[in-house]
Structures are given as structure tokens and as C-alpha cells.
Structure 1
């Protein structure tokens, strides 16, 4: 299933923000910043990426269900695998 690019705009923006945060983490490491500060920022990047992943999966599932497809056409095992990959 292909995702509608217009509905993915918020996800793309979230990932771009996460990329900026990750750049910040790299700078912090290069500057020798405090371990707690670095780990806090790294955890924020990780949460942002997880949320983006869940948004992609939920949007994809919603598109499957609202596009006129019935529940039998949804690959439940595939969706389960995607959700668990983010857990």
C-alpha cells in the first residue's frame, strides 16, 4: 500500500525535527557535553522517531480501511509485525 503524501506532511515534519535534534546530539558529543544532557536529547530523538513510525502505520491502516477495502484484505500479520518493530 502506498501512503498519500499529503497526509504524511506532519510525519515528514516530525522526522525533519528529529533529524535536527540528532544533529544537536552529535554536536553535543563533539563538544564533550554532559552525559545526562546527551542521553536526554537522544531519548527525545528516539521518541520522535517512534511516534513518526506509529503515525505512518496508523495512517496506512486507516487508508486501508477507508479506501473501500474490507477487513479481510488487511494483512494482520504484516501490521502486527510493523507495530512490534517499533515496540
Structure 2
């Protein structure tokens, strides 16, 4: 992976992202507890869906930050750097869509 030495696009949203990730972590721990306590399958699936949505929200925020910061900067630079960042972003979008 190519990592810039400049701050990442999410640096301004870092606290919000960490808060969302801690919430998702708590949801996953809750799901583990539900399985351990033999909770009804549909209730567990509902919580899995909520945790998945929470992680998708984080992923979309990171993608938005990446596009508006890293990709935009590379596009201004042009050439191979821009092409590489656009391909990298496109591959990340494809992974999100498939998941």
C-alpha cells in the first residue's frame, strides 16, 4: 500500500470515527454475549445488521475523506500519482460494494 507522509483525509474526523468504531465494537461484544446466552436467532441477526451498518458508515466516511483529500490532491498533481490514487479508490469502492 502507498501511504503518504502528509496527514490522511480523516484527520479532521478522527474523533468521530473513533467514537463510531467504539460503538461498533460494543455492538459486536453485545452480539457475542447474545450468542453466549442463547438469544433467539432473529434478535442476534438484527444486532449483526446494526453492527454492519455502523461499520459501513465508518467505511463511507473514510472513503469520502479519502476522495476529497488524498485523491483530490493527487489529481491536482496529475500523472502517474493521480492514476494510481484513482485506481486505488476505485478498488476500495469495489470492495465496499461487494461486501
Q: Deviations over 1:11-64 (max 9, x none)?
A: 111111000000000000000001000000001111111110111111121113
Question: Aligned match of 1:47 in 31, 49, 53?
Answer: 53
CA RMSD of aligned residues (A): 2.0
Looking at both structures, which has the greater relative contact order when contacts are Cα pairs under 8 Å and sequence separation is at least 6?
1
- Give 1:9 shift: 1.6
Q: Which residue of 2 aligns with 1:58?
A: 64
Question: Aligned match of 1:36 in 38, 42, 51?
Answer: 42
Structure 2 residue 32 is matched with structure 1 residue 22: no
Specify every segment of 5 or more residues in structure 2 that has no aligned partner in the other structure, as ranges.
none
Runs of 4+ in 1 over 4 A off after TM superposition: none
Q: Structure 2 length as normaliser, TM-score?
A: 0.75
Specify every segment of 5 or more residues in structure 1 that has no aligned partner in the other structure, as ranges.
none
- Aligned length, in residue pairs: 86
Q: Which residue of 1 aligns with 2:14?
A: 8
- Give 1:7 shift: 2.2
